[in-house]
Amino acid sequence: MTNSSKQSAPLFQLRDQRLQYQGRTVLDNLCLSIASGERVALIGESGSGKSTLLKALREQRPDQVAWCPQQPGLVPILSAFHNMYMGALDRYSLAYNLVNLVKPLPGARALVEPIAKQLGLEQQLFSSTDKLSGGQQQRTSIGRALIQQRAIFLGDEPVANVDEYQGDALLQLICQQHQTVVLALHDITQALSICTRIIGLQDGAIVLDAPSDQLQASDLAGLYSAS
Amino acid sequence: MSASNSINTSASALRNLSFWFALSALLCLLLVDIEISSADPWAELGLMTAGALSPSVWSWPTLLSSLANTFAFALQGVTLAAMGGFVLALGYRFTLVRAFCAFIRSIHELFWALLFMQVAGLSSLTGLLAIAIPYAGTLAKIYGELFEEVDPAPANNLPPTSSRLSHFCYSVLPLAWRSMATYTSYRFECAIRSSAILGFVGLPTLGFHLETALSDGQYSEAAAFFYALLLLIGTLRLWLHKRLLPVYLVAVFYYLPPQATISWQLLVRFISEDIVPAPLRGQTIASAETLNSLSQWFSLLWQQQIWPGLVNTVLLGQISLVFTGLLALALLPLNSSLFFRHGRIVSRHLKRSIGDSILVLLRTLPEYLLAFIGLLIFGPSMLPAILALGIHNGAIIGHLLGRYTEEFNLRDDASRGITLYFYEVLPRIYRQFLAFLFYRWEVILRETAILGILGIATLGFYIDSAFETFRFDVALLLILVSAALNISVDQFARYLRQRLQLKTVPESL
C-alpha cells in the first residue's frame, strides 16, 4: 500500500476558501491540501460540511475523479448493468452507447461483469435498480465509480447502507483500485482502520487533522457530542 | 441461460409495450392512404406563408364580434359545465353517474353542435350547450377524482352527526378547491379552442371566418383571424383575473344571451320521428316484418358506413397516438433546463423560454384547424390529420414532460446532450410519458372521429354526410358508435395505466 508522499505537489489544495451550500456558508477560511496517495477520511456530524467539501474537491479535478455521491442518482428502471456502465459513457461513441442501451454489447459486458463480480452483484446484473435492496443499490453506485478507472476516488458515505463486514470489504476494494481516496464516513472504527489520515469537521472549520495511527476512537468521539 | 443473464428490469416491460404499440402503428400505416395528392404543396405553402406574413383585416367589426363570440361561448360553456360537473361529481361514486359522465364527454362538442342545430338552429343556445355538455362530463370526472384523492384525515376527524353535505364542504372541498380551480382554468383555454372550432359548422365564432377565408385562398385575411385566436389564448393570463370573473360573466351573458327560437313541433318531430331508425317509424308493434327490415337497415349501414368508419378511426387514431408520443419525446428538451446548460445564465434562460414558447404555441393551435390547413397544403389523405393530431397533442405532452424533468436530482458527473437524454432522462420520464399518452388516447380518438367532417373517412365523415342528407337516425346511430369506441378505449387505457402502475411516482431512488 502506498504511503503519503508529501514531497510531490498536492493533488487538491484549498486556501482560505469559503464553501457554500445552497447560499449558506458551510465552511469558512478553509485551508487544506491533499497529496496523491493519501487515504483521507472526513469525519463530522451531518451538516458539518463533508459533502460540500467533497463537492469542492471534485470540482478541482472533475476529469480525474471517480465520484460516488451520497444520493447515488441511479436510474430506477434501468438494470444494474446499465447503471454501472454509465460511468464509462464518455469512453465509447454515441452510437455504441445507444445500441448498448437496447442490447448489452459484448465489450461493455466484458467491462462491467468483472466489477459486478467483485461487488457480488453478478446475480442482479440485469435486474433494474428499483428491484434491488438499498445495499445492492449502493454497491451499484460504487460499481459506477469503479468502472471509471480513475486515480482518485471521492465517496460520500459510500458504504452507509451495507453491514460493517461488507462495508470493510468494499472500502478495501475501493482503496486497492485507487491511488488517492477521500471518503466521508460516519463509522469511526472504519475510518481509523481504512484511512491514513483523518480530518474532523465541526462548526464550519477543520478541528482535527492527523494521521490515523496517532489517533484512537476516543479522540474522535468529541466530534459528535459537541454543542 | 445462467442466472446472471436473466433480465428482470422495469424498463423491459415498458419497452415491450412500446414495441407493440409502435409495431401496430407501422402496420396501420401500411393500410391507410398518406399520399400527398395536391399538385404542388410547396406553392400552396408559399402562398400561406406570404399570407401569414401580411395579415390584413377586411372588417374590424367582424373580427371583433367573432372574437367576442368565441370568448362568450367559451366562458358561458365552461361556467355551466363547472356547475353541472360539480353536481355530478358529488355523486361520482355511483356507477350510473360515472357512466353518464363518460357518455356525455365521449361525444365531441362538434357532434353536440350538429345535433342541437337541428332543433335550435345556429343559435347562441346551440353554442353554449355544445360546449357545456361534454365539458361537464370531463370536469365531473376530474372533480370526482380530486374528491377521492384528498387527505381523508380532516374528514375522519369531524363529528359524525353533521350532515353529509356540510361534512363535504368543510373537509373535502377546501382541500380540493385549488386543484379544481387550476384544472378548470386549463379547461377554459381548451374551451376557447372548441368555441373557435364551432365556427366550422356555422356558429359565428373565429372558426367561421377562418374557414371561409382559408377555403377561398384569402390567406392574409385568414392570418388576421388566426392571430386573433392566438392572441386571445396567449393573453388570457393578463386580463382574465379571478376577481374580474363576475364582471366578464355578466358581460358575456348580456352580450350573447343564450336563446333560440325552438319550434316545439320540430323538436317533437325530431325526437319521435327523425332520430328513430327509419324502419321503425310509425310502427307501434314490433312485427317480424319490421324486425327484418330493421336488421337489413342495420346490416347495410354496418357494411357501408359503421365498419369502414370504425376501421379508419381506429387506424388513424393508432398512428396519431404513436406519432404524438414520438413528437412529445422529441420536443420535451425544449422545455427542460437539463438541455440548456451551456453558456451564460441569461442566454440559457432566454433559449429555454424560446423553446417553451414554441411548445405553447403548437399546443395553442386547435388540431381541427391544423388539419384543415394541412388538407389545403397536402390534399385529401390521412397525412394532414396525422400531422395535426401529432403536433397538437405532442406539444401538450412534451411541455408537461419537460416540466417534469425539472424535478430530477442528477449527479454532478451526469453526462450531457444526447447521452444524457437516452441514459438519464428517457428512462426516468418513461412511466410518466406513458401515463400522459394513455390519458390523451381518448382525446386523440375523439378528435380522429371529428376530423371526418373535413373529408377524411373516419366516423365523423359518415356522421356529417348523414346530417347533410337529413338522415338523423343514421347520424345518431353513428354518434353512439363513436361514443362507444371512445368509452372502450378510455377503459382500456385505464386498465393499462393500472397494470403498469403508472399513477405512482417512481422517483424514489
Same domain, yes or no: B255 and B300: no
pLDDT higher than threshold 50 for residue A178: yes
Of the two residues A220 and B125, the one the predictor is more confident about is B125
Residue range of the domain that includes B196: 55-263
Contact A67 B411 (CB under 8 A): yes
Which residue numbers of B have CB closer than 8 Å to A's CBs? 3-11, 14, 409-415, 418-419, 422-424, 427-428, 430-431, 506-509
Contact A78 B427 (CB under 8 A): yes
User: Is position B270 within any domain?
Assistant: no
Residue type, B313: T
Q: What is residue B287's three-state secondary structure?
A: coil
* Domain A1-64+150-227: CATH class, spelled out: alpha beta
Of the two residues B337 and A3, the one the predictor is more confident about is B337
Cell numbers for A40 = 483521507
Q: Can you give the pLDDT at residue B289?
A: 86
**pTM of the model as a whole:** 0.89
Which single residue is written with the C-alpha cell 454509465? A86
ipTM of this complex prediction, to 2 decimal places:
0.87
Same domain, yes or no: B250 and B388: no
Same domain, yes or no: B252 and B310: no
Q: Are strands A197-202 and A180-184 parallel, antiparallel or unpaired?
A: unpaired
Same domain, yes or no: B34 and B69: no
CA dihedral B149→B151→B153→B159, nearest 10 degrees, is -60
Contact A75 B428 (CB under 8 A): yes
User: Is position B45 within any domain?
Assistant: no
Contact B411 A55 (CB under 8 A): no
Average per-residue pLDDT in chain B?
A: 90
Q: Can you give the pLDDT at residue B2?
A: 43
What DSSP state is assigned to residue A31?
A: E
When computed from its CA atoms, the radius of gyration of chain A, rounded to whole angstroms, is: 18
Q: Can you give the pLDDT at residue A2?
A: 44
Question: Which of B1, B16, B19, B411 to mutate against chain A (most A CBs within 10 Å)?
Answer: B411
Kindly report, residue by residue over B92-110, the tens digit of the pLDDT.
Answer: 889 999 999 999 999 999 9
Contact B413 A67 (CB under 8 A): yes
Total count of domains within chain B: 2
Contact A123 B4 (CB under 8 A): yes
C-alpha span between B148 and B141 (Å, rounded): 11
Enumerate the residues of chain A whose CB falls inside 8 A of the CB of residue B413: 58, 62, 65, 67
Contact B14 A58 (CB under 8 A): no
Q: Which of B86, B25, B96, B22 is nearest to B315 (CA)?
A: B25
Contact B412 A69 (CB under 8 A): yes
Cell numbers for B364 = 395553442
Question: Which of A74, A77, A78, A121 to mutate against chain B (most B CBs within 10 Å)?
Answer: A77
Helix intervals (H) in B263-335: 264-269, 288-301, 307-331
User: Is position B250 within any domain?
Assistant: yes
User: Is position B16 within any domain?
Assistant: no
B85 Cβ neighbours under 8 A, 6+ residues apart: B135, B136, B137, B138, B139, B140, B142, B143
Same domain, yes or no: B299 and B211: no
Q: What is residue A134's three-state secondary structure?
A: helix
Which residue numbers of A have CB closer than 8 Å to B's CBs? 55, 58, 62, 65, 67, 69, 71-79, 82, 86, 89-90, 94, 97-98, 101, 113, 122-123, 125-131, 137
What CATH number is attached to the domain comprising B389?
A: 1.10.3720.10
Enumerate the residues of chain A whose CB falls inside 8 A of the CB of residue B409: 71, 73
> What band does B278 get if pLDDT is binned at 50, 70 and 90?
confident
User: Is position B509 within any domain?
Assistant: no
C-alpha span between B123 and B383 (Å, rounded): 34
Q: How far is CA A36 from the centre of its chain?
A: 16
Q: Can you give the pLDDT at residue A7?
A: 54
Helix intervals (H) in B406-471: 417-420, 426-450, 459-468
